[in-house]
Structure 1
Amino acid sequence: MYLRYFGLTEKPFSIAPNPEFLFLSDRHKEALAHLTYGLGDAGGFVLLTGEVGTGKTTVTRSMLAQLPESTQVAFVLNPALSEMELLASICDELNIEYDAKEATLKSLTDVIKARLLANHEQGGHTMLIIDEAQHLAAEVLEQLRLLTNLETDHKKLLQIVLVGQPELQQLLQRNELRQLAQRITARYHLLPLTESQVFSYVKHRLNKAGCNTNLFSDQSIQYIHQVTAGIPRLINLLADRCLLGAYSAQQQEVSKQIAQEAAKEALPLNLIPEHQKRALNMPALVSGWVAAMFACGFGLSFLF
């Protein structure tokens, strides 16, 4: 709707992942460096955590782009699985044939280990990436640890990347998972963008969409950082609505006022400072109103 008005070739703030719009902040680059180092070591487990929308998928995609072509990667995107279901999913991802009706934990483990060894003998690598890993059951994590027992004199034959929300760190602190925790060769917790990084992020995405002018005032960017806490996914939601608001008002620049109105439409109310102030003042307002009612001679029967 607003593309032609602002001279854009496509939506700059779509929440759908698009490699063309890849933006790596200093924090994303640091996370990528930690993961790459961990994977280049002896193998085992690598851990990436962060709040929802902070860019864990962005870092993971960047990591994948740097892997050798000889690396076979298995993805598990729904980790709420039993041990059997997880091993079956790994087999499916690695194109390993197995008899689903006769499958057991041992038989699935055996065929997976056979594939790991075959990949290694052919000069290849095998990697397992598990998203939303905070939902993994302790016994499933232990099963993953057992898979990493297969190794040569120099490295593990399976590298596992666990990606999840901060709860994953708490999960791995459990006593029964201490052996797995000791095998984590690199870990990184991804923080949201700083205010200066939000400026760079917005400019980067506008440029990628064909705009070489700044469509957002400094005050609007500062407000966007404030209400989104620097979380890229929320920034995209709000910035997109800001451009729509500026178009509707026939303005060439997103002002702070436009950003404030857009936030009410695009974000949960509890994130908006103006609403937070009203919510905090509400008990006092209600108490004052009730006191005034009593002062005027009205009793509780009026209220109920």
Structure 2
Amino acid sequence: MHMKPETLYAEFFGMSERPFTLLPDPTFLYWSKAHRNAYTILDYGIFSRAPITVVTGEIGSGKTTLVQHLLKNTDEQITIGLISNAQGGRGELLQWVLNALSVDVPNDSTYVQKFQTLQDFLIAEYAADRRVVLIFDEAQNLSVEGLEELRMLTNINANKDELIQLILVGQPELRDVIRSPNMKQLAQRVAASFHIPAMDAENVAQYIRHRLKSVGGDGDEFTDGACQMAHEQTGGVPRLVNQLCDIAMVYAWSKEQKTVTEDTLNSVLNDGLFFAATMGTEETDAT
């Protein structure tokens, strides 16, 4: 019998799809207090015309999902570009920016020509009463030179107004780079910032029940003890909670049990299928 990956055990539990998929999905977004605060900062950064806004969080803390929610709910008067995992030296980053904004330049353009093309685009958007926002996801991968180049972009202005705003989203080390002595000028342009901490035990339980209900479950498919254990094993990192809970539901399904208990989770752990149980969260994939 062949099943689609998204359904797998879902029908057994009376759900429309698997509640703990690993792909970032705004429809599953659980609004913990920390995520609400992070989103408020993103919103504030855009509408206060902050030159640079920074949001950081551990791997798998839901940063990318927040970014996708922001993209879906941005005012139509804002031209927004998303750049993920941008790397490279001088000039390459500028090309990433042009691509994200769908601005075409000839392949043989010099750096100066590319910069002039971007500046002309920003001035045209400004004249049309539109604002331009660039979001850099996984911004901790930017080099010091790349961050300095971004700071230079924020110097482009007209009538004292910012023509481009930057949102940097990344892992905690992004904060350390920005705070370093040689990044003082960049740090001075950061008008808003927020760090998303891992969830506590209560939030993990609420998160699990939220995901279950989002796909038609009643939220009681996991016992209180199982939720507590999920927090202990994952440290409250959403992506790790998803990994563990997804495997646990497969186990429950294979045993035709409608409820995931501590015994179910112990079976998963004893069989060595939840690799993150023996790793630091820094070794897991990013959300």
**Structure 1 and Structure 2 fold alike (TM over 0.5):** yes
CA distance in 2, matches of 1:199, 1:209: 16
Cα distance in 2 for residues equivalent to 1:19 and 1:32: 12
Q: How does 1:116-155 map to 2 (within 5 A)?
A: 116-153=122-159, 155=161
For the aligned residue pairs, the C-alpha RMSD in angstroms reads 1.6
TM-score (normalizing by structure 1): 0.85
What's the offset of the Cα at 1:195? 1.1
Show the counterpart of 1:168: 174
Letter in 1 for 2:83: V
TM-score norm. by structure 2 comes to 0.89
What displacement does 1:257 show? 1.4
Gaps of 5+ in 2: 1-7, 281-287
Q: Deviations over 1:28-80 (max 9, x none)?
A: 00111122112222331110111100011122122223321121122221222
Separation in 1, partners of 2:221, 2:154: 50
2:116 to 110, 116, 135: 110
CA distance in 1 between counterparts of 2:126 and 2:245 reads: 47
Counterpart of 1:268 in 2: which secondary structure? helix
Quick one: which amino acid aligns to residue 128 of structure 1? L
Match of 1:8 among 6, 15, 24: 15
In structure 2, what is the Cα distance between the partners aligned to 1:234 and 1:119? 41
Which residue does the alignment assign to 1:193?
199
Per-residue deviation, 1:21: 1.6
Computing the radius of gyration over CA atoms, which structure comes out larger, 1 or 2?
1
> d(CA) in 2 for partners of 1:68 and 1:87?
25
**Matched residue, 2:236:** 230
Instruction: Give the corresponding residue for 1:251.
Output: 257
Alignment correspondent of 1:49: 56
Look up the SS of the partner of 1:53 in the other structure.
Answer: coil
1:23 is aligned to 2:26: no
Q: Answer yes or no: is 1:93 the counterpart of 2:106.
A: no
Distance 1:271 1:150 in 2: 44
After TM superposition, the structure 1 stretch with the greater mean CA deviation from structure 2, 16-25 or 210-219, is: 16-25
Alignment gaps of 5+ in structure 1: 273-304
Q: Is the 8 A contact 2:81 2:100 kept in 1?
A: yes
Deviations 1:220-267 (A, max 9, x none): 100000111111111111111111111222222111011122233123
Once the 2 structures are TM-superposed, how far is the Cα of residue 269 of structure 1 from its aligned partner?
4.2
Q: Counterpart of 1:302?
A: none
* Aligned-residue offset at 1:5: 1.8
Aligned position for 2:42: 35
Q: Do the aligned residues in 1 keep the contact of 2:61 with 2:197 (CA within 8 Å)?
A: yes
Q: Which amino acid aligns with 2:234?
A: T
State the distance in 2 between where 1:137 and 1:271 align: 27
CA contact (8 A) 1:43 1:158 kept: no
Alpha-carbon shift at residue 154 of structure 1 (Å): 5.1
1:88-134 deviations in Å (ceiling 9; x for gaps) = 12112222222221x22222111111111111110111111111111
**Percent of aligned pairs sharing the same letter:** 32
Displacement of 1:271: 4.9
For 2:58 and 2:277, the matched residues in 1 are separated by 19
